[in-house]
Amino acid sequence: MQLNNPALLQHQSFIDGQWCDASNGEVFAVKNPATGDVIAEVADLGADETTRAIAAAEAARADWSAYTGKERSALLRRWFDLIIEAQDDLAVLMTSEQGKPVNEARGEVLYGASFVEWFAEEAKRVYGDIIPPHGRDKRLLVLKQPIGVAAAITPWNFPIAMITRKVAPALAAGCPVVIKPSELTPLSALALAQLAQEAGFPQGVFNVVTSTNAPAVGKVLCADSRVRKLSFTGSTPVGKLLAEQCASNVKKVSLELGGNAPFIVFDDADLDAAISGVIASKFRNAGQTCVCTNRIFVHEAVYDAFAEKLKTAVHALAVGNGFDEGVAIGPLIDDRALHKVESLVKDALDNGATLLSGGERFESVTNGYRPTILSNVDNAMRIAQEEIFGPVATLIPFTEEADVVQMANDTPFGLAAYFYSRDIGRVWRVSEALEYGMVGINEGIISTEVAPFGGIKESGLGREGSKYGIDDYVEIKYLCMGVN
């Protein structure tokens, strides 16, 4: 791997301002999903080192929370500038360990950096309140204070943005952090730590624990009462487990979990716009995003025309290694992901779906799966009820608005939904009826640092980004003052 700044390729964890190995010397291999090659060996920490990271964060807490908003803002801004300067290296690191096309990786670096820039500004605006009192002899005030040490457990599909979306508001609010990145993509997290160190965050404020023993590290982060906040992004079953574990000491929890996004194309939709939207929301990151379209409901009056246009658009998506020019679809993260996609496609075909395109592996990379379209899918099939997390578009016909809304909501998930219509009455009705935390209307890309990201139902708790994102890292304290 060729980096302009070799210091960005770190192999050790980062605790209390020091790079460190596992106490037993264990390491684990990080592989390039496109080739299977080992690209690095990284320190494999456990429960004891996690406790040490928590202790370091706790020791830094009082001083960090006493920094003014402006002082914290300046450090975040410096970190942002360094991430922007290092964007090419960070994109190379990310494509090497995660597989997404390198242009997409650069896009994620910029998206991830945008949270650092945003919360550098928000750090200066954590306002309290003065409440008109209930008695003449009283004065009522509200303070917002940092919650304390915050832990972040993050997934592999957005190795940088899922970290900055949590860490930037935590640091802005005055909370030191302990990060446990995915064992599949630790290098991006360690590069962020290197840049945070260069930015000058005080010792103990920024800690990264790399580990293949996620359950052990997770248990410590949940059980240690010095950690006052856990923010998790990942699968729903792990999120439920962590919420249970955090209940023992009533830790504040944010969960960004799985999704099952419907994408509804009404008969009055601009079909070409809907095709662009579906390509972006379905095939980005080879279908491995939590807000990825999972089910495409198409009105029967435009079903055939939409399917034809989608076929043409999907055939234009080049597959291959994310470092190759023009590639739009890289490898899936590992063979487990590949087998899951294959099994869902087989189940759908066995139950009456028809294959319009793809439906097979491609061999120029390991774990390659061709962009695929299935027609005549039923909303009850496994492929419509489970999160596919792969480049498979499933077309489901409908006729009535009420029926499609009911089908769209017929899932335990509630993260993102999309629909295309040019009827203003329908736009309001459907927007309000969809049981989702985020709705794209005539738009397939909805994520931005300026708007609240998050789900309802089993897709999660809490919101990231926007003016609301800092709320998860502060406690509200009410002061009641007698003035006689």
Residues that bind ligand NAD (CB under 6 A): 153-158, 162, 180, 182-183, 214-215, 218, 233-235, 238, 241-242, 256-259, 290, 387, 415, 455, 460
Rounded to the nearest whole angstrom, what is the least distance from the CB of residue 96 to ligand NAD in the complex? 18
Residue 289's Cβ-count burial label (10 Å; 0-12, 13-18, 19+) is buried
Measured CA distances, 6 to 9, 44, 46, 163, 449 (Å): 6, 21, 27, 21, 29
Rounded to the nearest whole angstrom, what is the least distance from the CB of residue 98 to ligand NAD in the complex? 11
Rounded to the nearest whole angstrom, what is the least distance from the CB of residue 182 to ligand NAD in the complex? 4
Q: What share of the chain is helix, strand, coil (3-state, %, to 5)?
A: 40, 20, 35
The rounded radius of gyration (Å) of the Cα atoms in the chain is 23
With contact defined as beta carbons under 8 Å apart, do 222 and 198 qualify? no
Helix orientation angle between 186-199 and 69-85, rounded to the nearest 10 degrees: 130
With contact defined as beta carbons under 8 Å apart, do 403 and 420 qualify? no
Handedness of CA 431, 432, 434, 440 (dihedral sign): positive
How many DSSP H helices and E strands does the chain contain?
Answer: 14, 22
Assigned token pair, 454 = 């998050």
With contact defined as beta carbons under 8 Å apart, do 40 and 92 qualify? no
Cα separation, 226 vs 243, in Å, equals: 16
Query: Coil, helix or strand for 355?
Result: strand
Is 256 a known active-site residue? yes
With contact defined as beta carbons under 8 Å apart, do 286 and 320 qualify? no
Nearer to ligand NAD, 146 or 155 (CB): 155
Nearer to ligand NAD, 215 or 412 (CB): 215
Half-sphere exposure (Cβ direction) of 13: Cα atoms closer than 13 Å: 31
With contact defined as beta carbons under 8 Å apart, do 321 and 34 qualify? yes
Which amino acid appears at position 87 of this protein?
Answer: Q
Rounded to the nearest whole angstrom, what is the least distance from the CB of residue 464 to ligand NAD in the complex? 7
Nearer to ligand NAD, 257 or 474 (CB): 257
Strand residue runs (E) in 173-321 = 177-180, 206-208, 227-233, 252-256, 261-265, 293-299
Nearer to ligand NAD, 73 or 98 (CB): 98
Rounded to the nearest whole angstrom, what is the least distance from the CB of residue 110 to ligand NAD in the complex? 17
Rounded to the nearest whole angstrom, what is the least distance from the CB of residue 142 to ligand NAD in the complex? 29
Nearer to ligand NAD, 290 or 302 (CB): 290
With contact defined as beta carbons under 8 Å apart, do 444 and 278 qualify? yes
Residue from 49, 58, 256, 458 carrying the catalytic annotation: 256
- Position of minimal CB gap to ligand NAD: 218
- Residue with tokens 């300046």, as numbered in its chain: 74
Tell me, rounded to whole angstroms, the distance of Cα 267 from its chain centroid: 32
Nearer to ligand NAD, 133 or 452 (CB): 452
Rounded to the nearest whole angstrom, what is the least distance from the CB of residue 298 to ligand NAD in the complex? 24
Nearer to ligand NAD, 243 or 319 (CB): 243
Assigned token pair, 457 = 């139902």
Nearer to ligand NAD, 148 or 259 (CB): 259
Rounded to the nearest whole angstrom, what is the least distance from the CB of residue 202 to ligand NAD in the complex? 26
Assigned token pair, 271 = 């079909």
Q: Which residues are designated catalytic?
A: 256
